[in-house]
A and B are shown apart, each in its own frame.
Chain A
Amino acid sequence: MNLLNFIVRRLLLMVLVLFGVLCIVFIIANVIPADPIGALLGGNAPPEVVDEYKKKLGLDKPLAERFVSYLLGVLRGDLGVSFRTNRPVLEDIKKFFPATMELAIAATILSVILGIWLGVASAVNRNKGIDHFARVFSILGVSMPVFWTGLLLLLIFYYKLDILPGPGRLDIFLTPPKRITGSIVIDSLLTGNWEALKNGLLHLIMPAFVLGYSATASIARITRASMLDVLRQEYITTARSKGLEERKVVRNHALRNALIPTVTIIGLTFGSLLEGAVLTETVFSWPGLGRYITNGYLVLDYPAVMGGTLYIAFIYSLVNLIVDIIYAFLDPRMRV
């Protein structure tokens, strides 16, 4: 019906946007001048070698031709071959992305639960202790640089106190579970590898917290604001005048209305999570897509960078699409 109509419209728009994303990525990698061959071979490689590399990498062809062949490649699922790893970029993404996803999902779960709880608690107890605490906690969350928080936590909880494991997804001496989904937690659950599960979860705690902190803060803040707004609405007075307990007024009447804007912010914070993942993965030596892209940038590994960036933009758009659909579903007024 109308919801379906809305989804189809959003999907078409997404296709258009993704085409634009591809153009932007291609322009960044091919038009903005920088010297990929120089970065690969060093500044003073003999011209014959440079030419040979250019030919090999297809950089000698005209720009338009390169664009068309890249576009066709992407449509076939061929993102080219990484200069650095010499593997197809798609293979690399398949290898690294599950680690990013695991981290991002853990951080999302953490931030949604903690953020909504904090937001509701501080709205209901406005200007009381918990409210002040939540405000300070939130404002610190959006102010501290992710990479610095990560380093500090590593220093304290790993190097000094040694109560949490250090960088990486698993202790070095531990055999990882057989790769099924690429998520250590899920794979070790599936294979019944309890030791790896425990170790993997412990390794997740710090990076997930670091990554989720600023998202928690934004979610708590928007939930508080919308909860305060909802609690002023007349239907809340109606619910109270029915003789409903305040706890139930909050849970049954206010929460669902208040969560509508929160859902939108969750989509937005997922973007900041992907951003933060780049930094968090670098700090915690987490073998994810963010680190793959960063390393790609440092040596101008264009196929890897283009593919990785394209992929991240794709995931980000997809999440926002899902959020829009959930939004439409939550608010019956949207479905008309």
Chain B
Amino acid sequence: MRILGIPVPESYKPMIEDLKHTMYLWRKSRLTMVGTIIVLAFLMVAIVAPFVAPYDPIEQNLKEKLLPPSREHLFGTDQFGRDIFSRVLYGSRIALWIILLVSLISGGVGTMIGVFSGYFGGIVDEILMRITDMFLAFPGLVLAMAFAAAMGPSLTNTIIAISLVYWTRYARLARAEAMRVKNMEYIEAEKAIGASHLRIIFLHVLPMCISPVLVQLTLRMGTIILTAAGLGFLGLGAQPPTPEWGAMVSDGRNYLVDQWWISTFPGLAIAIVVLGFNLLGDGIRDMLDPRLRR
């Protein structure tokens, strides 16, 4: 079952029967519509960036450095004469890449761990959940910084580091779902006819856990961008000359007073895209909230 393209568990069934209501809530909330539009625009930009960007995002042109915004350079140029507008456009591809991979890795790892933990219970569950607690004892960014620094700062390591931090959330979610599902009668029936644990997990338990995890993943996408940009800003993320938004804000720090545009536009891009994801996430959460659906 899918809503706005996101699969949701069977327990949300009334929602489908009441699709009209869902659409009503979506239309009624202008903010959710704005969020949807921003996210779609972000996806579009990421796809078409190479075709619409007026300049190469990496090539330096010291003759044109530190130019203020103008018709030739909409967002101005940085200290190496690179066109900031083009870099911001290309930055959307980096951001999208990070979101997709982090969601895939942390969602995948978290769901698997959660499902095993919830399905087998007992000592397996106890150990896996205590490990989850240990990861949750760190503020997210601090732990991500530690991983990123130890592995050496790069775009790939940023993605791995953030995934290593965020899998816990999905593990807990998937565990709860797996515990619910494993006690259902049709699972008992499967066991009775001699199905193996792996078969039950992959064919019956896992599919049920994917939906809530996916919903949660969409709600967290804004946070992923913020964390990645934070790492980039601190110099522990994607390295120059990659047009990563956080690192670009950091590039402009020393020029803040006279060349404000270097930091401002990449930061604005982060803020708008995260805003879009948050508005959309809020909307989805409201639509799933049974209390608001009454």
Contact = CB atoms under 8 A, between A and B. Distances in A.
Given A139-B278, A142-B278, A154-B256, A309 B131 contact: no
Contacts of B226: 145
A192 interface: no
A159 B256 contact: yes
Interface residues of A, number: 47
A152 interface: yes
A151 B253 contact: yes
Q: In terms of DSSP, what is the predominant structure of the interface of chain B?
A: helix
Contact of B138 (A13, A32, A152, A313): A313
B145 A151 contact: no
Interface string B146-172: 111111100000000000000000000
Interface in A13-38: 13, 16-18, 20-21, 23-25, 28-29, 32, 34
A108 to B, nearest CB: 14
A278 B145 contact: yes
Given A145-B226, A294-B145, A278 B234 contact: yes
B274 A17 contact: no
B253 to A, nearest CB: 7
Interface in B51-76: none
Given A16-B130, A145-B226, A305 B140 contact: no
Contact of B233 (A147, A159, A300): A147
Contact of A313 (B137, B145, B249, B271): B137
A297 B149 contact: yes
B30 to A, nearest CB: 10
Nearest to A316: B139
B139 A145 contact: no
A309 B147 CA distance: 11
A109 B95 CA distance: 34
B230 interface: yes
B10 interface: no
B270 interface: yes
B137 A21 contact: yes
A244 interface: no
A305 B137 CA distance: 16
A143 interface: yes
Contacts of A34: 149-152
B275 interface: yes
A271 interface: yes
Given A34-B151, A275-B142, A305-B149, A148 B249 contact: yes
Contact of A17 (B137, B152, B236, B291): B137
Contact of A28 (B31, B130, B147): B147
A260 to B, nearest CB: 17
B278 A152 contact: no
Contacts of A294: 145, 234, 236
A183 to B, nearest CB: 21
A115 to B, nearest CB: 17
A316 to B, nearest CB: 6
A57 interface: no
A29 B150 contact: yes
B153 to A, nearest CB: 9
Contact of B134 (A21, A142, A146): A21
A144 B271 contact: yes
Nearest to A36: B150
Contacts of B151: 32, 34
17 contacts: A13-B133, A17-B137, A18-B137, A24-B138, A28-B147, A34-B150, A139-B275, A142-B274, A144-B267, A144-B270, A145-B226, A147-B230, A147-B249, A154-B256, A282-B234, A313-B139, A316-B138
Interface of A: 13, 16-18, 20-21, 23-25, 28-29, 32, 34, 135, 139-140, 142-148, 151-152, 154-155, 159, 229, 271-272, 274-275, 278-279, 282, 293-294, 297-298, 300, 305, 309, 312-313, 316-317
Given A28-B146, A275-B141, A309-B146, 11 more contacts: A139-B282, A140-B271, A142-B222, A145-B233, A145-B267, A147-B249, A155-B256, A155-B260, A297-B146, A298-B149, A309-B143
Interface of B: 31, 130-131, 133-135, 137-143, 145-152, 222, 226, 229-230, 233-236, 246, 249-250, 253, 256-257, 260, 263-264, 267-268, 270-271, 274-275, 278-279, 282, 291
